[in-house]
Structure 1
Amino acid sequence: MKDNYTGITIGVMVRVPLTPAERERGEQLGAVLRAARADRSLVEVAAESGISPETLRKIETGRIPTPAFFTVAALAQTLGLSLDELVTPGRSGARQYGRTA
């Protein structure tokens, strides 16, 4: 789109729709994070991770199915999870959801 007054071209961003697989992975990520949070409050985990409670709520409910890598990494660290555990829930057996046996 071109502004006729200044001659500046303004780019338009178009959001590509998520695939069903991406939405499903987002829901799975949210479920793992909710389970790992367990008895800790959403506000506490969000604050310790450096994100807003609303952002964490949206990630946990799948409304942000593809959060930024550093957001996921911060949440994993806060919850005592490895990134592998977030990608493949239950893979580590005894450490499932950040809890040790």
Structure 2
Amino acid sequence: MVRTPLTTWERERGERFGALLRRARGSRSMAEVAAAAGVSAETLRKIETGRAPTPAFFTVAALATVLRVSLDELADACAHDPDWQEPALSA
């Protein structure tokens, strides 16, 4: 299966989401949080660094529960900004 390339917006959204998770994790280790959420530390690392910008809902829900972050807060942080414009590609 070929994946459609991510837009700049999707990449930026993934980076914002990852930063929010890193802040919520605080001083807890990545391995500790990942194990509590039932995901691999590698999966959490990819999400936190923006390399997996579209994680599955159940992964997000599990991480939100472990980190005590509401799904509403996560959705608000990643909501589309109607004023955002895709940067023009330079020729």
Same fold per superposition (TM over 0.5): yes
TM-score with structure 2 setting the length: 0.81
Paired letter, 2:8: P
User: Is structure 2 residue 4 aligned with structure 1 residue 16?
Assistant: yes
The alpha carbon displacement at 1:88 in A equals 2.1
Listed as ranges, the gaps of 5+ residues in structure 2 are 78-91
Say yes or no: does 1:73 pair with 2:61: yes
Residue segments in structure 1 that go unaligned for 5+ positions in a row: 1-12, 90-101
CA deviations 1:4-62 (Å, max 9, x no partner) are xxxxxxxxx21101111111110010000000000111000000000000110010000
Question: What is the aligned partner in structure 2 of residue 41 from structure 1?
Answer: 29
Runs of 4+ in structure 1 off by over 3 angstroms are none
Q: Which has the larger radius of gyration?
A: 1
Q: Are residues 1:26 and 2:14 paired?
A: yes
Amino acid at match of 1:21: W
Structure 1 contact 29–87 (Cα < 8 Å) conserved:
no
Q: Is the 8 A contact 1:30 1:59 kept in 2?
A: yes
Q: Identity across aligned pairs (percent)?
A: 70
How many pairs does the alignment contain?
77
Task: Give TM-score scaled by structure 1 length.
Answer: 0.74
